[in-house]
Amino acid sequence: MKQGYFPRWTLKSGGMVAPDERLPWGMTVLLGIQHVVAMFGSTALAPLIMGFDPNVSIFFSGIGTLIFFLVTGGRVPSYLGSSFAFIAVVVAATGYGGSGPNLNIPLALGGIIGAGLVYAVLGVVVSFAGYRWVEKLMPPAVTGAVVAAIGLNLAPLAVKNVGASGFDTAIGLATVLMVALVAVRAPASARRLPILLGGLGGYLLYLLCANGLGLAKAIDFSGVAAAAWIGLPHFVSPVFKASAVGVIAPVAIILVAENLGHIKAIGGMSGRSLDPYIGRAFIGDALATIVSGFGGGTGVTTYAENMGVMAATRIFSTLLFVVAALFAILLGFSPKFGMLILTIPVPVIGGLELVVFGLIAATAGHIWVENKVDFAQPRTLLTVGLTVTAGAGNLALTLGPLALGGIGTATFGGILLYQILRPKRA
């Protein structure tokens, strides 16, 4: 029988649930909402770090997830949330100071759309030529180096947000400790939500010390009280400037490597090869990023938290993500909810940044260990060392109309250097 564009989801009540299977509808709704909760900490944190409206970004994470579902024909289980890969380049392109609204969001949106267009082109190429060339161009040594460079490039921003005063430093470090304790000591169900629960703990501690004991500037809830429960998100239109596009667009390379790794991992966990859908997954992610950029949201990507929930529950039904997407869209239509997110104190955000940026950098080590990268090879050692240093030091390059920030320089430099140092054939 000929396979349709969408699978015919088969009802299953227990055990592992494959992408083309489904649970009873009540359980599907509950587990779909759980995915949004698991992704919420990072999906809301990334826009806050870049000065974006988190309500708009959460709204577009739902829209993006629906786009991804449609483009992949409901074959790839994934939720699209705010991508941390954009943080460093958006901060560089807009000159954002690290707290409060970002006044240059339109410039960032133009760059995000540029990245989405590059990503879409790469997705089309992969659809026709396969994905093996991506693995050759960005092997684990290079991918890990670029990931490490991103985390280290962002480190000064996190330190700035926890270092304004001794009180801020104490709150930031307490937030870090709470995230760590949740991740390691909490019950298994709570352990999957360390950013969300640790951030909530830091928020309550700041509220007690500032609003209760008067030790710092109190959290102002007047905006929350004045905001409507239901209303349209505050959409923003993009502005296209070559310098901003040149800094942000190279992130598409990172998204390709990131998405490829996620899809391969999900295929391995579910026992269903998703390789035939890699090109379509790239295109779906790219279109979601472009649509988000045209409305004021961040660039989006598939989420590791999403994979963690699937690994723990062994439920891979793609219908869960339709429910998750619709729930995220509903949250996006609540201005009061958005204003509440904006009350998160700067040192709490800084503490969460220390954790997230550190984990990004540490992920590089996981990539190298998992893939048995041989650092005894001079080619590998030089490529990794120079890529990480260029990214961490924010080495910028201007090539005619194209301006590359530290992440762009590290990405393209790492790719080129690894190929240039390829051993000569005997």
pLDDT exceeds 50 at position 147:
yes
Q: List the domain boundaries for the chain.
A: 18-164+220-345+364-420
Structure tokens at 105: 């969001």
- Whole-model pTM: value is 0.75
pLDDT exceeds 70 at position 409:
yes
User: pLDDT band at residue 312, thresholds of 50, 70 and 90?
Assistant: low
Q: How far apart are CA 11 and CA 15, in angstroms?
A: 12
**Lowest mean pLDDT across 47-56, 257-266, 373-382:** 257-266
pLDDT exceeds 80 at position 38:
no
pLDDT at 1: 41
Give every CB contact of residue 370 below 8 A, 6+ residues apart in sequence: 140
pLDDT exceeds 60 at position 72:
yes
On whether the CB atoms of residues 32 and 327 are closer than 8 A, the answer is yes
pLDDT exceeds 80 at position 2:
no
Higher-pLDDT residue of 404 and 393 is 393
Cβ-based burial of 149 (10 A; exposed 0-12, middle 13-18, buried ≥19) = buried
Per-chain mean pLDDT for the chain: 84
Q: What spatial distance separates the first Cα and last Cα of the chain, rounded to whole Å?
A: 51
Mean pLDDT of all residues in 390-403 = 74
pLDDT exceeds 70 at position 422:
yes
Structure tokens at 406: 């530290």
Is beta strand 300-302 parallel, antiparallel or unpaired with respect to 397-399? unpaired
pLDDT at 92: 84
- The residue behind tokens 């910028």 is 396
Q: How far apart are CA 11 and CA 323, in angstroms?
A: 16
User: pLDDT band at residue 399, thresholds of 50, 70 and 90?
Assistant: low
* Ramachandran angles phi, psi of 141, nearest 5°: -60, -45
* 3-state class (DSSP) for residue 311: helix
- The residue behind tokens 């577009």 is 60
Reported as a single tens digit per residue, the pLDDT across 269-286 is 777 778 888 899 999 999
On whether the CB atoms of residues 317 and 19 are closer than 8 A, the answer is yes
Higher-pLDDT residue of 72 and 46 is 72
Structure tokens at 4: 């349709």
pLDDT exceeds 80 at position 40:
no
* 3-state class (DSSP) for residue 296: coil
Reported as a single tens digit per residue, the pLDDT across 204-247 is 999 999 999 888 888 888 888 888 888 888 899 999 998 889 88
Q: Which helix (H) or strand (E) holds 31?
A: helix 25-50
pLDDT exceeds 90 at position 356:
no
Report percent pLDDT > 70 for the chain.
91
pLDDT exceeds 90 at position 64:
yes
pLDDT at 81: 86
Strands annotated E in 38-103: 80-82
* 3-state class (DSSP) for residue 423: coil
- The residue behind tokens 């786009």 is 67
Q: Which helix (H) or strand (E) holds 11?
A: strand 10-11
Mean pLDDT of all residues in 384-388 = 92
Per-residue buried b or exposed e for 267-296, using 16+ beta carbons within 10 Å of the residue's own CB: beebebebeebbbbbbbbbbbbbbbbbbbb
Structure tokens at 48: 């806050």
Structure tokens at 413: 């430099």
pLDDT exceeds 90 at position 174:
yes
* 3-state class (DSSP) for residue 76: coil
